Chain A
Amino acid sequence: MRPTRRQFIAAGTGAILATGAGCGRAGDDVRRRIGLPTHRPLEGDLTPPGAPEIDPISHVLNRLTFGARPGDHRRVAAMGVPAFIEEQLAPDRIDDRVCDRVIRRGFDHLEDPRSSLLPRDAGAPDPLARMFPALDHQSTRVGELYEFKDKTLLEDLSRATLLRAVLSERQLLEVMVQFWTDHFNIDPSKGESRWLKAADDRDVIRAHALGDFRMLLRASAVSPAMLWYLDGRVNRRAGSGDRPNENYARELLELHTLGVHGGYTQQDVLEVARCLTGWTVRDRKRFLRGRVEFVERLHDDGPKRVLGHEIPAGLGAGDLDRVLDIVAAHPATARHLAWKLCRRFIADEPPETAMAAVAAAFTAAGGSIPAALRALFATPEFNAPATRAAKFKRPFHYVVSALRATNARTDASRDVLDALVRLGHAPFRWATPDGYPEEATHWQNTLLWRWNFATALVGGRVRGSTVDAADLKEKLGGDDALMATVLGRRPSEAERVAYHQSGSGLALLLASPAFQSC
């Protein structure tokens, strides 16, 4: 991988700025751990769950995170479930420097070039951008991605996604990143999305995953990768005979906002497509590649009518925000998002009352994603005992939870990604705009490959990922503690017998029926 322009810049300025900009505070313990493959040392109080069923603590760990790590149950028990939920809803306040450093060290090119090498307080001016104002230009930040081999970029993006899911303390953020990645799905195999998806991940999904939905929607609408993926870049009206390309307009209404039964008509799709004509992205053969721009002469500037709202002629680029205001504020959008969130966090067929509560909270808070989630986690349905351990983990969740439960040391390299491909759930590989399915029925025939991952991981046959079962058992305090830590509750008698007679107890736990659910 050749160094990027940014790395040259950084090399030059590093000597001047880096030591003074906050690196020192991280401490030696962090520096020791940033080598790949990595994990966190087992320390602190590792008392395992003690209840015979999934308790409220294991339940929030199951649903708000990609699986509990040894010690997590004790930590949440000490702070209380409500405090844990509030902690996770405010990811900026969580100290996540181990994960940040691992990502920065291995995946510098996926980070924002303005700030990745020079940590700074949120809101403070970027020291690099002060010296090189061009770095503030969106196209420069995006265009830099083209310097990488597309396959390298996609693999690195997948690895970074996996590593963050395994290592980050901001677990709910990572869960929501996956949620929005599905919601605004982009298959990077199409056109220049192969480079631009990395910018979408950084500037659209991660930037707004626990933020404001309207801003997320706006960012996605003008995301260069999205303009490629759903053909927005060729949606234009150059001559009077040109038909608009409806692809993005349709998915905007059907998948991103109102939902397929949200009450829009085919005519609305057409009118939205007309509103968005002229938005395009410069391709890689051109100067300032990856730059999104609005080309006035390719815009259909006549009057339009979208979902009953008149949009007068002559608004030009302003049509975009008018359309997004209309669809974001539409009641069907709140219902559609509430349905999807409840399906993710409560049950595949979510209860009406919970959906209504989440939609109301979302609307009342003006589209705040944390407000919607806070309401969701407070519903009786989310907290009902019958809800616990009743959702089938999707394969990504399964694999990450296995790595977390065993405190595996991992570099998230090829073998783990291959396992996810086999399981049909590798990051950024879903071809169609609807994103990976959520429902259990879609995933139930992946059992064999889950079992095979469990035996391979514990048996040391997943290159780049290691589990020290003996050390884990010793630190946790024996077989029963290990079982309870992995299962999130005390084992049943049948599980205890199977664990001891299987010849590979830890692998059996990971392959067992209980570990498939969350």
Chain B
Amino acid sequence: MATQAVISGNGDQRRTLVIIFLRGAADGLALVPPVGDDHFHRARPRLAAAAKDGVRLDGHFGLHARMRPLESAWRDGDLAIVHACGMEDDTRSHFEAQDLMEHGGVAAGGWLGRYLRTRPPAVAGALACVAVGKALPECLLGAPTASVMQSFEDFTLGGGTPAFRTQLERLYAMERGRLGAAARDTFDALVRIEALRTSPRPPDHGAVYGRDEFSAGLARLAQLIKADVGLEAASIDLPGWDSHFAQQGQVESLAGRLAEGLAAFRRDLGRRMATTTVVVMTEFGRTVEENSAFGTDHGRGSAMLVLGGGVAGGRMHGVWHGLAPDKLERRGTLDGYGDLPVLNNYRNVLSSVLARHGANPANLAVTFPGFTLDPLNLFA
């Protein structure tokens, strides 16, 4: 542990934020169905039928049946849900919406990158920020440091002798700009991960992770958190939610992966969940009505999940107006069209979370420029 303390500095005092992005526009009405609303059943005669097998959260909302592994987090008060979430821009383009949302509006760099660059204290360790996957997500653009990682084992300089590494480091040290910075991050991260690899730890408290890529990513994040390497922010994607066609099986499988992964992560971290917050978000929701192909098309509002220590959980947060036709957002001129409106801006969820992680008003203003924040009170 002495080695890790040197690596991390005071890493164990840090909180860790994990952002899970459901790419492809997850259907919030399938994940957190308003089962007590007759309009829901009317708009989705075929798709809504499955909701009766789900978890009853309160008198009005349920949780998708495959999300049952998260029921205990809800009952323990560690899971809060905000429905009708999204952004003010009504683009229904996945890419534009993800881009806008991850940039935190029309702004240079990503919101999480800007947060990390401006939050006190200004010094970030090389492993302060990890993106699980193959590439850096837009939300981390501009982060003082960010490492892309698929597995610890791969995070080594294969076959290179010390001389090779020394010479390579020398050449990159002469590089200015982004390439030089990326190389320095890479060399720093190499050193830290090598230390982690020498003392691998199995999941704690009997947690069992699935074999899918998403769960494996969460398991590695848990290892980094438990090893006190100073991880402050991490991102991981769960893609594949664009359910235009026969969505039932697709949503079931993804909802299962999401909930099982999160439940294992929560169990594995145990009391460390007190300093960890997980946010689940997506670019926009889907049409209230099902389409002719048993799917749903691009809509507006979806649900956000916030899981972690100190969360005022076990209840819904934010504004909700129901699905009565006059409460829906109209678009186009054809009859019967309406979308769940965005009643809760995603920034008001994220800013509440960032405040919990130590953000002050000044750096929240830099994180979400051009927007008057009105953070929800997601923490007790």
Query: Which of A's residues lie within 8 Å of B, judged by CB?
Result: 231, 234, 236, 238-239, 241-243, 245-247, 250, 254-255, 260, 266-267, 269-270, 392, 422-424, 431-432, 434, 437, 440-449, 451-452, 455-456, 459, 461, 494-495, 497-498, 501-504, 507-508, 511-513, 516-517
Contact = CB atoms under 8 A, between A and B. Distances in A.
Interface stretch (B65-73, B115-123, B167-175): B167-175
Given A442-B135, A461-B159, A447 B182 contact: yes
A254 B297 CA distance: 16
Contact of B293 (A234, A456, A502, A517): A234
B240 interface: yes
A451 B164 CA distance: 10
Contacts of A504: 160-161, 164
A260 B96 contact: yes
B155 interface: yes
Q: Closest 5 A-B residue pairs measured CB to CB?
A: A424-B134, A445-B148, A498-B167, A502-B167, A455-B159
A443 to B, nearest CB: 7
Contacts of B180: 513
Contacts of B135: 424, 437, 442-443, 445-446
Contacts of A517: 179
Given A234-B245, A445-B147, A452 B159 contact: yes
A46 B206 CA distance: 63
Contacts of B295: 245
19 contacts: A239-B292, A241-B292, A245-B244, A247-B297, A250-B298, A255-B95, A260-B96, A266-B331, A392-B179, A422-B150, A432-B94, A445-B136, A447-B186, A451-B168, A455-B157, A494-B171, A495-B171, A504-B164, A507-B160
Nearest to B149: A445
Contacts of A247: 242, 244, 297
A239 to B, nearest CB: 8
Contacts, number: 158
A250 B172 contact: no
Interface of B: 23-24, 91-96, 131, 133-136, 141, 146-148, 150, 154-155, 157-161, 163-164, 167-168, 170-172, 174-175, 178-180, 182-183, 185-186, 190, 239-240, 242, 244-245, 289, 291-293, 295, 297-298, 331-334, 336-337
Chain A interface, DSSP helix/strand/loop, else mixed: helix
Between B131, B160, B186, the greatest number of chain A beta carbons within 10 A of the residue's beta carbon is seen for B160
A254 B289 CA distance: 24
Contact of B154 (A250, A260, A422, A501): A422
Contacts of B167: 497-498, 501-502, 508
Given A502-B168, A513-B183, A448 B240 contact: no
B332 A267 contact: yes
Contacts of A511: 168
Contact of B136 (A255, A442, A459, A516): A442
A269 B171 CA distance: 51
Contacts of B147: 445
A392 B179 CA distance: 9
B163 A501 contact: yes
Nearest to A508: B167
Given A440-B178, A502-B167, A231 B244 contact: yes
A188 to B, nearest CB: 14
